[in-house]
Chain A
Amino acid sequence: MTSDKTDVWQGTLAVMVLKTLETMGPLHGYGIARRIEQTSGDLLSVNYGTLYPALLKLEQEGYVASEWGVSDNNRKAKFYKLTRAGRRQLEKEAREWDQATAILARFLAPGEERS
């Protein structure tokens, strides 16, 4: 049931897309959506529709590039791939995310008094 699943919020969707493209290489929109769902262990439900404006924004910012190609089962599809700028951006976002979670984790750690 979808009610158990967490909706993907905008900012993080971009990072997920970038990460997906880094691990999987060039991929079409549908592929990206499925991959995100699988990676999250089906805990996240991507409303596939929201993916496309996000992809367009990333493309406008120059983090991904797109190209029409042919899918595994012979369908004409638009493939997205990570650009060099996108790779750098992903590293930066990952670093920031680590920092943010580390700080939060310290706050939320049980029983530990701040001194």
Chain B
Amino acid sequence: MRRLRAWFFRLRGLFNRDRRDGEFASEIETHLQLHIDDNLRAGMTPAEARRNALIKLGGVQQTKESYRDQKGLPMIETTLQDLRFGFRMLRRSPGFSLLAILCLTLGIGANAAVFSWIEGILFRPYPAVTHQERLVAVGGTARGEARGNPLSWPDFLDLQRSCTLCETLFVSKIKGTTLSLGDRAERTIGSIVSANYFDAIGVHPILGRGFEPGEDVGRNAHPVTVISYQLWQGRFKGDPQIVGKTQRLNGVVHTIVGVAPEGFLGTFVGWGMQFWVPASMEETFEAGGYKLEDRGARWIESYVRLKPGVSLEQAQQEISSVAKRLEADYPDTNRSRGIKLWPLWQTPFNNAGTLLPTLEIMLAVVAFVLLIACANVGNLLLVRSFARRHEMTVRLAIGAGPGRLLKQLLTEGLILSALGAAGGLFVAYWCRHALVLLFPARAGVAMHLPGEIDWRVLALSAGVCLITTLLVGLVPAIQAGKIDLAGALKADSGGAVGGRGKSRVRSGLVLVQVSLSFVLLVGAGLLLQSLQRIRTASPGFSTHGVLYTAVDLVSAGYTAQRAQSLQDELIDRVKALPGVESATFARMTPMSYGSYSETLIAVDGYQPPPEEQPTVQYNEVGPDYFVTMGIPLVAGRAFTRADDERAALVAVVNETMAAQYWRGRNPIGERVQVKGRWMQVVGVAKDSKYQSVRETPKPFFYVSRRQNFSIGAGLHIRTPLSPETIATELAREVHALDGNLAPYEVITLQEQVDRSTSPQMVAVTLVGVLGGLALLLAAIGLYGVMSYAVSQSTRELGLRMALGAGASNLMRLVMSRGLVLTAGGVLLGAAVSLGLTRLLGNLLYQVSPRDPLAFGSALVVMTIVSLAACFLPAWRAARTDPARALRD
């Protein structure tokens, strides 16, 4: 308490110092006078009296000094002094300060931006959702597969009932939908959710209500919807009487029961949801009919909030035992099926999973950029510290301890990095929506991948700022610690270009810069090559000359029968268009976000191992599918119009499936059981890619769409014409058939493949941009070191010239020194790269982490850049005027 009071007084003592100093001076004055009076009375002469009084008082200055220290807080006072002085030094050389702050802004800004993306996309992806730290994703697993699958609704309900370590479980399944108000229809995105959704995530509608218990029960029983704030403001102009009004979703009238708060965008990384409907309305939105009572229909994406203090492992154990029980109770649907938890940042069914590897790499890349920026600023400070040697020497000579000097230099470093951090946060704020821009644009609803700058990001950035301070401030500080007073008094004689000593520190820093940027160059090269391989890899079907589009008949309320006849008629009309070679419908198009149908199969003569349930994916395709897609048949025939409801059931298998289940026998004419029905294999198709370019060959088969009809399907057209041409023609034909219909955008299959490789694209762009930045910083560093070396050794250069060295000799001297530095950096960088590029892991595709081409091109780029950086200093060296250099 007493101490606190004293501190308060001392803090106050920091201000109005002059008055207090004056007061103390007069107190001391009185003291002396009183003492002198006494001494005079004791019989001393005036001079003696004064002398005696002064001696007894001790050193007046020392007393004043220690009085002042007691009065204020010397530590804060000297810090303020250092700050003031630091700012003055920065103002005195604005060019240096700007360059240093710019470097740090870029370095810290890149870090802060990546932190904010990681926070906003991986760790706290759902604005307004409470306790995201306890949220985990739940999905199903099948034996032998690493990826997560959806769950079925009955499995979810069982899980909800028996998980004691979970606070809540909820479903949130993203769905693209047609929203119609009056006669205006548009594509939008929403979620099918369990009734507990809004309570579970702690979001309360600002108008109306969330869903009530029981609203997710019963087939099509509760056509209610909660709409987003954005939709409310946009489409309904913020109508305060909105609750109770209706809108059509996929053609079904839904009553609006609530409006979600502003800023709440649902629970899907990548897109903002515009509406939410209870799971009872599933059939309206999902292709494939009513699934709430089908344990074999796996379609939902769900999340769990764990109870406080429960670890992921504990919950996983409990959930695994539930899954075991389900396996035993429902062997038909659940044999060899597990249920798994994933931390939010590994969520398998949204863009968190796809962006995770990229963001991980980015974390390392921005750390590199920061190090390079620090090396640059450290170098700049070092140069300045030579210029300030005189000042440091004087400070030491008049009694500043090395600690005090260190503090001064660190304070200057802190000012620089704090300004850099402020600029960096600004950069991060400015870049928070930049990720979306890197994804290929597509028509319809815009992607949403926001960065989030919260206190955790701020704290991390502050941490980075402090580390930067140490890195940047310590270099000159170490140098300052080496000043010896006697040595510094001697005149500074000009050094030599290859001089040792203090230039070694600077060269070391440049070496680090060059090697780090080399690593980034190699990384960028490898990623670029992978992207190219992915883009040019043959997916097993034609990507050029084939267009893809769709007509949404589900939303338009078509029955299966009407849909079929319209689709038949449309195919005929499309085929008749000039320039169209063939056209076909298929339920799924390769590399799209949707999921293929999947079935347990049985094959005559194939006895599966006891633990295995042969499960294979398939696609429902129309006649001409293989011709249109350019997938060759190796045996048998394709589907024809004759393979319809009345004909015998037929299937076409791919090569891998034929090899796996028929083991060298000819599968044609054999039988395969699909969803309980036996089909005859009539053809074998070549393998192709189905969901990702990077997948390995897997068993897959095709069935005739007419024999397995579902309304939703994509239209594939083989034609040399451009998508735009076909789009106009197609719109006219569709409109002629039904005035209320309009086709989706028309894209080439190449575009479809490109979209599916966007994570690679994002990685390449980001690493490329940052690699370029790093290269620029390193070039500045190299240039700085070389031109400083030249400016410090004009005398030597002049001497060489006077002794007969030509301009080209001097130029070669400087250039070779720069190139030696570069070569050292490249060697170091190559060694580091060999160790690090493995970490690119599955971002690489058919490229070895030690790919010589990537290393070679990095070497070439690095050499060119360093030649450019050294050229100007070398040219200046060559123009040294020997007479002047020797005279000065």
**Chain A residues near B (Cβ < 8 Å):** 28-31, 34, 47-50, 52-53, 56-57, 59-62, 71, 73, 75-78
Inter-subunit contact B34/A53 (CB<8 Å): no
Tell me whether A61 and B34 are in contact in the complex, defined as CB-CB below 8 angstroms, given that A49-B60, A53-B66 are known contacts.
Answer: no
Nearest to B58 among chain A residues (CB) is A49
Q: Mark B27-60, 1 if CB is under 8 A from A, else 0.
A: 1101101110110000000000000000011111
Q: Quick one: which of B9-42 are within 8 Å of A by CB?
A: 9-10, 24, 26-28, 30-31, 33-35, 37-38
CB distance from A52 to the nearest CB of B (A): 5
Inter-subunit contact A28/B34 (CB<8 Å): yes
Inter-subunit contact B30/A60 (CB<8 Å): no
Please report the C-alpha to C-alpha distance between residue A55 and residue B70 in the assembled complex, in whole angstroms.
Answer: 10
Chain B: interface residue count, which band? 20 to 34
Inter-subunit contact A30/B34 (CB<8 Å): yes
CB distance from A39 to the nearest CB of B (A): 17
Question: Across the interface, which residues of A come within 8 angstroms of B33, CB to CB?
Answer: 75
Inter-subunit contact A49/B62 (CB<8 Å): yes
CB distance from A26 to the nearest CB of B (A): 15
A-B contact pairs, 25 of them (CB 8 A): A29-B27, A30-B31, A47-B56, A47-B57, A47-B58, A48-B35, A49-B63, A50-B58, A52-B28, A53-B63, A53-B67, A53-B69, A56-B67, A56-B70, A57-B70, A60-B9, A60-B10, A61-B3, A62-B5, A71-B34, A73-B34, A73-B37, A75-B30, A75-B34, A77-B31
Question: Across the interface, which residues of A come within 8 angstroms of B3, CB to CB?
Answer: 61
Please report the C-alpha to C-alpha distance between residue A108 and residue B822 in the assembled complex, in whole angstroms.
Answer: 76
CB distance from A13 to the nearest CB of B (A): 13
Of B6, B38, B56, which contacts A48 at CB under 8 A?
A: B56
Inter-subunit contact B37/A61 (CB<8 Å): no
CB distance from A69 to the nearest CB of B (A): 11
Dominant secondary structure at the A interface:
helix
**Chain B residues near A (Cβ < 8 Å):** 2-3, 5-6, 9-10, 24, 26-28, 30-31, 33-35, 37-38, 56-60, 62-63, 66-67, 69-71
Please report the C-alpha to C-alpha distance between residue A89 and residue B705 in the assembled complex, in whole angstroms.
Answer: 98
Nearest to A62 among chain B residues (CB) is B5
Please report the C-alpha to C-alpha distance between residue A73 and residue B62 in the assembled complex, in whole angstroms.
Answer: 28
Please report the C-alpha to C-alpha distance between residue A30 and residue B29 in the assembled complex, in whole angstroms.
Answer: 11
Tell me whether A49 and B57 are in contact in the complex, defined as CB-CB below 8 angstroms, given that A28-B34, A60-B9, A75-B33 are known contacts.
Answer: yes
CB distance from B42 to the nearest CB of A (A): 12
Please report the C-alpha to C-alpha distance between residue A28 and residue B38 in the assembled complex, in whole angstroms.
Answer: 14
A71-B30, A76-B30 given; 8 more Cβ-contact pairs under 8 Å: A30-B31, A34-B38, A49-B62, A56-B67, A57-B6, A57-B70, A77-B30, A77-B31
Nearest to B12 among chain A residues (CB) is A60
Residue of B24, B27, B67 with most partner-chain A CB within 10 A: B27
CB distance from B53 to the nearest CB of A (A): 9
Nearest to B31 among chain A residues (CB) is A30
Dominant secondary structure at the B interface:
helix
Inter-subunit contact B27/A61 (CB<8 Å): no
Nearest to B41 among chain A residues (CB) is A73
Of A29, A50, A73, which contacts B31 at CB under 8 A?
A: A29
Question: Across the interface, which residues of A come within 8 angstroms of B28, CB to CB?
Answer: 52
Question: Across the interface, which residues of B come within 8 angstroms of A28, CB to CB?
Answer: 30-31, 34
CB distance from A16 to the nearest CB of B (A): 17
Please report the C-alpha to C-alpha distance between residue A77 and residue B71 in the assembled complex, in whole angstroms.
Answer: 19
Question: Across the interface, which residues of A come within 8 angstroms of B2, CB to CB?
Answer: 61-62
Please report the C-alpha to C-alpha distance between residue A71 and residue B28 in the assembled complex, in whole angstroms.
Answer: 14
Of A47, A57, A61, A78, which contacts B30 at CB under 8 A?
A: A78
Inter-subunit contact B71/A48 (CB<8 Å): no
Question: Across the interface, which residues of A come within 8 angstroms of B56, CB to CB?
Answer: 47-48
Tell me whether A48 and B58 are in contact in the complex, defined as CB-CB below 8 angstroms, given that A53-B70, A60-B10, A73-B37 are known contacts.
Answer: yes
Nearest to B3 among chain A residues (CB) is A61
Nearest to B9 among chain A residues (CB) is A60
Inter-subunit contact A78/B5 (CB<8 Å): no
CB distance from B101 to the nearest CB of A (A): 41
CB distance from A9 to the nearest CB of B (A): 15
Question: Across the interface, which residues of A come within 8 angstroms of B35, CB to CB?
Answer: 30, 48
Question: Across the interface, which residues of B come within 8 angstroms of A47, CB to CB?
Answer: 56-58
Question: Across the interface, which residues of A come within 8 angstroms of B69, CB to CB?
Answer: 53
Nearest to A29 among chain B residues (CB) is B31
Nearest to B34 among chain A residues (CB) is A30
CB distance from A49 to the nearest CB of B (A): 3
Question: Across the interface, which residues of A come within 8 angstroms of B59, CB to CB?
Answer: 49
Question: Across the interface, which residues of A come within 8 angstroms of B6, CB to CB?
Answer: 57, 60-61
Please report the C-alpha to C-alpha distance between residue A52 and residue B59 in the assembled complex, in whole angstroms.
Answer: 13
Please report the C-alpha to C-alpha distance between residue A59 and residue B59 in the assembled complex, in whole angstroms.
Answer: 23
Nearest to A46 among chain B residues (CB) is B56
Question: Across the interface, which residues of A come within 8 angstroms of B66, CB to CB?
Answer: 49-50, 53
Inter-subunit contact B71/A56 (CB<8 Å): yes
Please report the C-alpha to C-alpha distance between residue A47 and residue B63 in the assembled complex, in whole angstroms.
Answer: 10
Please report the C-alpha to C-alpha distance between residue A73 and residue B40 in the assembled complex, in whole angstroms.
Answer: 13
Question: Across the interface, which residues of B come within 8 angstroms of A50, CB to CB?
Answer: 58, 63, 66
Nearest to A48 among chain B residues (CB) is B57
Question: Across the interface, which residues of A come within 8 angstroms of B9, CB to CB?
Answer: 59-60
Please report the C-alpha to C-alpha distance between residue A48 and residue B69 in the assembled complex, in whole angstroms.
Answer: 17
Please report the C-alpha to C-alpha distance between residue A71 and residue B34 in the assembled complex, in whole angstroms.
Answer: 9
Inter-subunit contact B31/A48 (CB<8 Å): yes
Question: Across the interface, which residues of B come within 8 angstroms of A49, CB to CB?
Answer: 57-60, 62-63, 66
Question: Across the interface, which residues of B come within 8 angstroms of A71, CB to CB?
Answer: 30, 34
Question: Across the interface, which residues of A come within 8 angstroms of B10, CB to CB?
Answer: 60
Please report the C-alpha to C-alpha distance between residue A30 and residue B27 in the assembled complex, in whole angstroms.
Answer: 10
Inter-subunit contact A78/B27 (CB<8 Å): yes
Question: Across the interface, which residues of A come within 8 angstroms of B27, CB to CB?
Answer: 29, 52, 77-78
CB distance from A29 to the nearest CB of B (A): 5
